[in-house]
Structure 1
Amino acid sequence: MNRETDEVREAIAGELRLMDPSVRTSRSLARQLLDPDFVEVGASGRQWTYGEMLAELPELGGAAESGPRYEPSNFIGVLLAPGLVHLTYETTFDGNRARRSSLWRKQGAGATWQMYYHQATPIPPDGM
């Protein structure tokens, strides 16, 4: 049930930009898309803070132009409240699949949408 509002479309666009190698290797571009209160629980189980993610994103998977890239599918977005969008989707990266959930927020007039929270859960090879 994808409620295709402008807010949901903008959050999906931000999510896709964060998968772009040119954004992943640019701390200044990534900074624009991550909320200062950002937290991630990665598919490995590791928790990332805003500062850790900005520091390490250029070295993480999906950052090399010639390397494997994230292949997203099945986006579902819901506007939970003014300025708060929840996205769920799946990715395939280098043969590994994950279910993903993100919260995007926009604070105040003229602000941009930024990822506030992200979680990735591996999908076992049998797809269960």
Structure 2
Amino acid sequence: MGMETDEVGEAIAGELRLMDPSVRMSRSLARELLDPDFVEVGASGRRWTYEEMLAALPELDGAAEDGPRYEPSELAGVLLAPGLVHLTYETTIAGHRARRSSLWRKQSAGSTWQMYYHQATPVPPGAT
């Protein structure tokens, strides 16, 4: 595997961890995966900051161990520049589909990949 594949793979692993209820319930685990400059535009159209997202994650969809979970598909990524990966994928949760785009960045050689930006666009029922 080349360098690019490894970096994309690390970003995908981080993305999947953020969908894990145990991570969503833990501020300390979630904090490791979110860049301090993180911003999200959610499927609702709401804009979330780093602090807002950390505070709300335990209450949001996908946080309950016995509740609905995000089911990702078509996860793909591209290394845009050293330390910057763009991921695209789809999720389904409780029958609702969304197309998603994430930017993951790694600030320095020893640091971990963190989600810098995330956008979710709802997919209407029946859309291809």
Fold similarity call, TM over 0.5: yes
| Deviation for aligned residue 1:39 | 0.0
Report the TM-score when normalising by structure 1: 0.96
Secondary structure of 1:97's aligned partner: strand
User: Which structure 2 segments of 5+ residues have no match?
Assistant: none
Report the TM-score when normalising by structure 2: 0.96
Q: 1:127 aligns to what?
A: 127
Do residues 103 (structure 1) and 103 (structure 2) align? Answer: yes
User: Which structure 1 segments of 5+ residues have no match?
Assistant: none
Q: 1:91 aligns to what?
A: 91
Do residues 72 (structure 1) and 72 (structure 2) align? Answer: yes
- Displaced runs of 4+ in structure 1, greater than 6 A? none
Distance 1:69 1:25 in 2: 13
Cα pair 1:98 1:122 within 8 Å, conserved: yes
String of CA shifts for 1:44-82, please: whole Å, max 9, x gaps.
Answer: 000000000000000000000000000000011000000
Give the CA RMSD over aligned residues.
1.1
Distance 1:76 1:47 in 2: 24
Cα pair 1:43 1:98 within 8 Å, conserved: yes
